[in-house]
Each structure stands twice: as C-alpha cells, then as structure tokens.
Amino acid sequence: MKKIPSKTFLSLVFFFLSLKIWFIEVLVAQNTATIPVNVGVVLDLEFSGGNIDLTCINMALSDFYATHSDYKTRLVLTTRNSGNDVVRAAAAALDLIKNVEVQAIIGPTTSMQANFVIELGEKAQVPIISFSASSPSLTSIRSPFFFRATQNDSTQVNAISALVQAFGWREAVPIYIDNEYGEGVIPYLTDALQAVDARVPYRSVISPSATDDQIVSELYKLMTMQTRVFIVHMFPSLGARVFAKAKEIGMVSEGYAWIMTDGLTAEFLSSPNASVTNTMQGALGVKPYVPRTKDLETFRIRWKRKFQQDNPDIVDAELNIFGLWAYDAATALALAVEKAGTANLGFQKANVSSNSSTDLATLGVSLNGPNLVQALSNITFKGLTGDYLFDNGQLQSSAFQIINVNGNGGREIGFWTSTKGIVKTLNSANNMTAYSGSNSDLSTVIWPGDTTSVPKGWEIPTNGKKLRIGVPVKDGFSEFVKVTRDPSSNTKTVTGYSIDVFDSVVKALPYALPYEYIPFAKPDGETAGTYNDLIYQVYLKNFDAVVGDTTIVFNRSQYVDFTLPYTESGVSMIVPIVDNNSKNAWVFLRPLTWDLWVTSFCFFIFIGFVIWILEHRINEDFRGPALHQAGTSFWFSFSTMVFAQREIVVSNLSRAVVIIWCFVVLILTQSYTASLTSLLTVQQLRPTVTDVHELVKKGEYVGYQEGSFVLGILLDLGFDESKLIVYNSTEQCDDLLSKGSGNGGIAAAFDEVPYMRLFLSKYCSKYAMIDPTFKTDGFGFAFPKGSPLVPDVSRAVLNMTEGDKMKEIENAWFGKQSNCPYSSTSVTSNSLSLKSFWGLFLIAGVASLLALIIFMVMFVYKERKMLRPLNSRISTRSKVRNFFRIFIQRDLKSHTFRKSGLNDSNGTSLPSMGAPSPSAYSVQTSYFPGDGDQSSTEFVDSSPDRQTSQEVVINIDQLTNPNQERLAAFEVEHDHN
C-alpha cells in the first residue's frame, strides 16, 4: 500500500476544517438574521419606581428571546424619561413617534400623562400599552390603540364596599388626591358604597402640592365630623404624608378605620418602610392578588440581582405589582410584534402644506399599527401575574387580596372575588357558593389602637359639644312632653312619656351618648312654631335631633330620618256615644233582622206543608176538609216554637224532619230570648257618627289639635276650613264635644291614636273611637339624613317595645288603663241576622226536600198500577187529575188503618182491613171539562142524554183488594167507550 505523504494529509485536514467552519458561519448568519422593531418606553426614571419597571421590561425581553430564539423580530427599546411631568411625557411620546418611528409605546407611568399620549397614539395609530395608568377616566377616551395592562381602579371599589358592608359601617369619607387619578375613581366608589346602603357625607380632596399645614387643617375638619371610616386614594408620596399627620393628631387610634386603595397598598407593603408603616398601623388595604408560583419566586431573586447591577445607588428596593405588570406587558408586546409580521414597519408621511410647521401636523401614520392592535387583542399566555389577556383593551380583573397593616408589613386576612365576595382563602372546598359579605369570613383584624374591637364607624364629634335635642313646647297633652321653667334659676326641665322613652333608649345603647334637651320656644317661653318647623330645624343643622310626640309622615321624611315608631299608628275619630235603646211597643221585633224574620216565617209554612204531605194519607189528624187540613198543618208547624204540638206524626220521614226542625227552632228561640233580654236590660250605647263623609255632607263642625298635621288631612277630606275648630288639651276637646256641633262645639274630634287613647282614659264612658281614618307610622325620633344613630336607636326602640320597659313607662304616665267597654275600633249591630243562622236553615231545608223525594218515590212505586192509564189516549191534564185524586185518598195499606176502623172521606164507617165489611162504598165522580179537543170525551160522553154525574154502588165483597175500590170507580166513570 502506498503511503500518503504527511504534508498532503495535513493539507486535506485543514481543508475540511475550513469547510466546516465556513458552513457553521453560514448557518449562524442565517439564524441571526433578525429584524429590529423600534419600541418606545416612557417612564419616570427620576424615581425608584420607574427604574424598577425598566429593569422588569429589559428582563422580560431577555427572557423571552432566550426561549424564543427562532423568532425573526427583536424589540429595540428607546427609553425616554418623563420626569413625572405631563408635558415631558407628551413630548417624549411625540419624539418617539415622529423621529424614532416606534411601532408601540410602553408607558407612560401616570394616568395624567397617559391621557395626552393616548391621543397621540390614536392619531399616529401607534398602540399605547400602560401598566400603571389605572384611572377609569381613561376608558372614556375609547381609543382602540390604548391597552391598559393593569387593573382598572373601578374594579377595586366593589372590594372596598364589601369591607364597609361586612363591618356594618353606614358612612365612609373618601380622601383622595386632587387630580385625574384621584377624581376618576370617586364616582365608581360612591355608587359602590350606595349599593351597600352606605353614604358618602363628605369628600376630602387634597392637592398634590398641599403643605403639611393644609393637610393637618383638612384632617382636623374630618375630626369634627361623626364619620370615622376613611378611604384613602392618592399617590404614595402624598399618602405617606397624610398618614404621618393623621398619626400626629391622633386619628390613627381606637375608633378609627382606614382603608387604602391598591396603589397605596402595593407601594407601601411591597417594600415596607418602618417609618411609613408605623403611621398606618391597623389600616386595611386591597391589592390585586398574584398567585405565588415557583417562576415568580425565581424571578424575584434574579430581578434583585439585576436591579442592583443596573442601579447600585438605590438600596432596599423591592419588586412590586407594577413591575410584574411591566414584565408581562413587554412579553405581550414581543408576542404581538412577531404575530403581526414585519411587512409594513414604515410610516406614511402626512401630506401637509409647507405652511404647516407644527410637529402634530407632520405626524405620520404607522402602517403596521392596525395589525399590531389586532395581534395584541388576541394574545393569551401565562404570565407572572397569572392568565394574561385583553378584553376590549382592558386587562382581565383578578381577585383582590385584603391586607391588614401590622408591624413592619402587611398581614393577609382574606380575599375578595366578584363571584364569592369576601372569603378567607381562595380555591377552598369550604368556601360558600353564595356571595358572602360577612366579616366572619376574614381573619382577625388588629385595628388602629392595637385593638380587635371593630370600630362602629362614627363618634360624637370631638369638639366637646353634646347633641342638641330639640323638644316641642305645647300647652295641652303634657303627658307626652312638658317643659317646665323655674323662674328662680331660669332653668328648664323637660319631662314626659316621649322623654322617658328616649332616655331609656339611650341607656340601652352600647356606647355613651351625651345630649341635652333644648325647648323649641321663643324668649318669652311660647312655642317657636309648628312640628314641621321643629323638624326643619334638624335639616338646617340647628338641632342634632328632635325628641317628642313627632309623627312620622312623608313630607317630614324628606328632610330628616326617623327611627322606628315607639307608639301606635293612625289618625282616628272620637265621637260622643248615646243610648240607642228606645224601649217602645215594637222593641220585640228588634232582636231579629227583617231578613231573618221573613226566612223564619217562610220555613214555618214550608215545614207545615212538608208534614202534611208526609202524613195526610196515613194520619187522621191531618185529614178532613181542606181548610181543616191547612189549619192543622200550619198549627203543627208554628206550635213547635213553644214545643206545644199535640198532633202525633206516624211517618218515619216526618219524625226525621220534625226532629231537625225542632233543633233549629230551639236555637232560634234561645238566641231571640237572649237578644231581647239584652235589649231590655243592658244600656245600648251607640256612636252618634260612624262615617267621616257623613260629617262632610252635613257640614258639621269638627276639631283637631293645634299645630297638628291632621289639619291637612281634614282639608283633603273636603271639610270647609270654617268648620274646623282647634283645641289644645283633652279638657277643651271634651268641652267642645259636649256642646255639640250646633251649639258652638264639634260633632267629632280628629287626632292621632296615642292622643285618643289618652283622651279615652279620662272620658271613657262618654265617647267612642272609630276606625282609623288614615294610617301613619306613629311617633318617632328625628335625626339628620344619613345619621349613623338611626339604626342603633331603632334597634333599641324595637328591643324596648318587645319588653316590659315600655309598659312601665306607659303605666307611669297614663296609668293602668282598663279596657273601655265602649271604646271600640268597630261598631256592630246587636240584632241577629240571617248570616248567623243560614246553616241551620240549610240543614232543615235539605232534610225536608230529601224526605219529600223519598216519599214521592215510594208513593209512585206503590200506586204504580193505579197511576197507569187504562186508555193511552187520555190527556196530560187528566193524568195529573187522576194522580192528585189518588194522592189525597187514604193509604189503606198503612198500618194506621189496619189497626182500627176509620171513616172515609164521606163519613162512612170502615171496618178494619183484617175483616172486610160487605158495605158498599159510594164513589162520587164529577164532570171534568175536556181539553178543547175530541179527546175530552175519554172521561165523559158528550151526548146530550148522558148525565154528568152518577153514583155507582159496588159490593165490597166483590173487591179482591182495597185498591180495587178506586180502580172500579175509575173504570165505571170511563166505560162510555
């Protein structure tokens, strides 16, 4: 084998190595052929927050392209410092768009800066992505080129209102910065608080350039108010100053509640500073919840190292939620740029005249802007803050974490979600499926003053004044409110039922409530106005409340808030009562009403008729001439009233009817006797008037209490004002009613139920109270609109009315009132009506009809042979006559006729049916007129020589049974055919 020279071998090796290196360089060159895409960044780099965000953006792009090295695009950042100035931020954005021709801008930092930058992006069609501009007002711009990569401030207001509701606070005062950032959230916050029935009595606005003295002055103003719940929404720099001054003057102490929005919470507690957190101990805060993941913890460590390398002069900086949003925003933009492509990265220059030299006029339009907007709208990925996607340019809202400032940091006490409300833990199987708004779902809160007792949310103002309670001054009805003046000491003492009730209610409150009574009077001691005037003084803030016999009515509730009523409600009418029992000769008719008299009489006749039908064929007592039978039947029926009937009924059906009827008569007579006795022996008192419209129609004089709202009611009813007379006391009212309407008095008095009860307790035997004419809510205590005292006082009133304390106060002022026998809310008649007895008559009627039906069925069945016509051509009238002829005859088969001999209808003696006598019966037949046709001859021959009547004598021995007598007579009469 020929050996290759070593020199040649080395040449070949070198050639192949050179070829391999060239090939690798070609591949690398192909892979590194990326397209740069200019992106602007506008941040406040003069503050540590801006540098934190910039580091996060740079790390986001480094991490992204390290894991996506195959992407063709590469974002090239051009950073501008806005210097916390709106004009500089706008100038920086304009420079980036016009001179650098950036495809998108990340930033700016604040909402005020973003406002104008968004307009520039709209004009140049350059997407603006802000991770910290959270003001809801930016949404109103409605630019499709604006993407808010942070939480909208309006999403946190529901979490804040849920806290207010959970702790039962009725009022809250927002303290916010006087700029677009602060003002943007206030409308949403106010609506959210109103949705949970909490008021915003005052808005505290603090200028960004406010001095310490101005801040202290505003805080002192808040101290003089009742509300002790404050919601702070401002920049961290200003917020730290506000809390420091609040701590100095004692507002971060027991009884106060402070709630911070997410901007302050995230800034103060992400990098806690002991000097700052010490001024807000016990405050609550909300911030968006970021799940703790392994990737997030790893990133925090890497970010700490990177930030120290880039900013060696900044010490103890901590990563916050805005830095995480900046990281995810940069990642989203890198994905969107790659997805949108690089076909149109240029700008279309504006076609302007040479005279237009302004920067805005020469601003170009990005050709790739619409594609990039579309790509950003569809981006979804898993970021450091969780699932990342935009909905109409807005980052999806997440749960909020509730923090309690304690020590040198924050302590997590719960969460809030839009679906479950306040919960202690997220993703727990024990969480309720229903929305929760209770503080029991939170961990224990350590409030300002290092206490776990929940602040009630309000306090008596610290200006040292007591509550000024206005009370009415009046001459009459002093049992409710009475103002006594001591001439020697010029002091005034207020007593009365209403005063004792309020004193007891205040003692039942779980806290001290200093107050003083101030009579609503002129310097001379006379009343200063009506009750409406007194209530209006609360609206004017001259009184802090009104206590007295003040009625809760609609027009007053428009100016004040009333507690629950502590007395009965309604407006009633008092009228005199007279003895309505005129014992005349016809008084015996009054126990029963006319309809009951008529019904009873008809039933007596009906029962007599029923008994006659059931008895006349088998009972000799009910036979004889027609008048005798009618008299006997009705005599028997009416004699049951005194149970003196002598006739004996033999039919079982009759006996059943008589038993039921006697029961009806027994109840009827006993009731009549009792009612008549009452009419003759008991005094029958009746109101003189029972209908208010009758008073109006007759033009009667009526009375009302001076200063009462009842005047308006009477005028609405149609009373002439000249017919209305005023009274001031129970004695004066009695005097007017005693005189009467025609003698300078009144026919009726109108007043509220509590006054009427007091009046009747003194004049029970002379007057009666008619049904309430109008409904009212009774007496209540009046407080200013939205006063936090109203719920507590109302609960105390409710507790008192359910216990014995209220009865003790009533007995002390009104005495133990016995039930007034004539003081009724309704007037009824003592006469007995058909309504009380119709059931008895129904039973008697049904029993009687049933007996008749049974009797007729048995009669037709027994006499079926006699009722069957021998000639099918006889008329209906003849058939009916034949039926009644048989019906009125004796039933010879009855056991009553088999026991003894009886006379027939003509007086002929009949032997017992056991031994028939050969005596003949004389059967009379009469001529019955025909029916107007030829068929009338079926009974009587129409020939002239035919006699109209005849007597046929039949031997009884020839009859095979008693019924043959009637059958033979019927056949003889019609034998003419």
pLDDT averaged over the chain? 80
Judgement on whether residues 297 and 267 belong to the same structural domain of the protein: no
Kindly report the backbone phi and psi dihedral angles of residue 257, in degrees, each rounded to the nearest multiple of 5, phi listed first. Answer: -135, 125
Report pLDDT for 581. 57
Judgement on whether residues 174 and 310 belong to the same structural domain of the protein: no
Judgement on whether residues 254 and 268 belong to the same structural domain of the protein: yes
Picking from 540, 901, 524, the residue whose alpha carbon sits closest to that of residue 532 is: 540
Give percent helix, percent strand, percent coil of the chain, each to the nearest 5.
45, 15, 40
Judgement on whether residues 726 and 769 belong to the same structural domain of the protein: yes
Judgement on whether residues 118 and 223 belong to the same structural domain of the protein: no
Please report, as a single letter, which amino acid is at residue 251.
Answer: M
Report pLDDT for 932. 37
Report pLDDT for 32. 53
* Model confidence at 956: pLDDT above 90: no
C-alpha 963/C-alpha 972 separation (Å) is 15
Q: How far is CA 584 from CA 65, 591, 676, 832, in A?
A: 117, 13, 13, 19
CA dihedral 881, 887, 893, 895 (to 10 degrees): -170
Task: Confirm whether 797 is domain-assigned.
Answer: no
Mean of the pLDDT values across residues 325-345? 89
Question: What does DSSP say about strands 284-288 and 400-406: parallel, antiparallel, or unpaired?
Answer: antiparallel
Please report, as a single letter, which amino acid is at residue 935.
Answer: S
Cβ neighbors of 396 (< 8 A, separation 6 or more) are 387, 389, 390
* Model confidence at 235: pLDDT above 80: yes
* Model confidence at 582: pLDDT above 80: no
* Model confidence at 329: pLDDT above 90: yes
Give residue 576's pLDDT band: very low, low, confident or very high (50, 70, 90).
Answer: confident
Mean of the pLDDT values across residues 442-456? 90
Report pLDDT for 934. 37
* Model confidence at 2: pLDDT above 70: no
Which of 747, 776, 805 is the last residue before a domain boundary? 776
Report pLDDT for 638. 82
**Which range marks the domain in which residue 275 is found?**
153-291+400-441
* Model confidence at 696: pLDDT above 90: no
Judgement on whether residues 434 and 545 belong to the same structural domain of the protein: no
State percent of the chain over pLDDT 90.
22
Helix, strand, or coil (residue 83): coil
Mean of the pLDDT values across residues 700-726? 86
Note the pLDDT tens digit of each residue in 111-120: 888 888 998 9
Strand partners, 551: 779
Report pLDDT for 21. 60
Residue 301: CATH number of its domain? 3.40.50.2300
* Model confidence at 399: pLDDT above 70: yes
Structure-token pair, residue 45: 């780099």
Report pLDDT for 742. 78
Mean of the pLDDT values across residues 173-177? 94
Judgement on whether residues 479 and 530 belong to the same structural domain of the protein: yes
Judgement on whether residues 273 and 414 belong to the same structural domain of the protein: yes
Note the pLDDT tens digit of each residue in 131-148: 888 888 888 788 899 999
Which of 776, 792, 807 is the last residue before a domain boundary? 776
Task: Confirm whether 563 is domain-assigned.
Answer: yes
C-alpha 299/C-alpha 275 separation (Å) is 28
Give residue 870's pLDDT band: very low, low, confident or very high (50, 70, 90).
Answer: low
Picking from 924, 933, 930, 925, the residue whose alpha carbon sits closest to that of residue 877 is: 930
Instruction: Name the residue with higher pLDDT: 690 or 8.
Output: 690
Judgement on whether residues 518 and 665 belong to the same structural domain of the protein: no
State percent of the chain over pLDDT 70.
81
Total domains in the chain come to: 5
Judgement on whether residues 404 and 263 belong to the same structural domain of the protein: yes
Task: Confirm whether 974 is domain-assigned.
Answer: no
pTM of the predicted model as reported, rounded to 2 decimal places:
0.60
Task: Confirm whether 849 is domain-assigned.
Answer: no
Report pLDDT for 651. 85
* Model confidence at 186: pLDDT above 70: yes
With 0-12 / 13-18 / 19 or more C-beta atoms within 10 angstroms meaning exposed / middle / buried, residue 543 is buried
Judgement on whether residues 91 and 224 belong to the same structural domain of the protein: no
* Model confidence at 925: pLDDT above 50: no
Report pLDDT for 682. 60
Contact call for residues 541 and 495 (beta carbons, < 8 A): no
Judgement on whether residues 268 and 404 belong to the same structural domain of the protein: yes
Report pLDDT for 6. 57
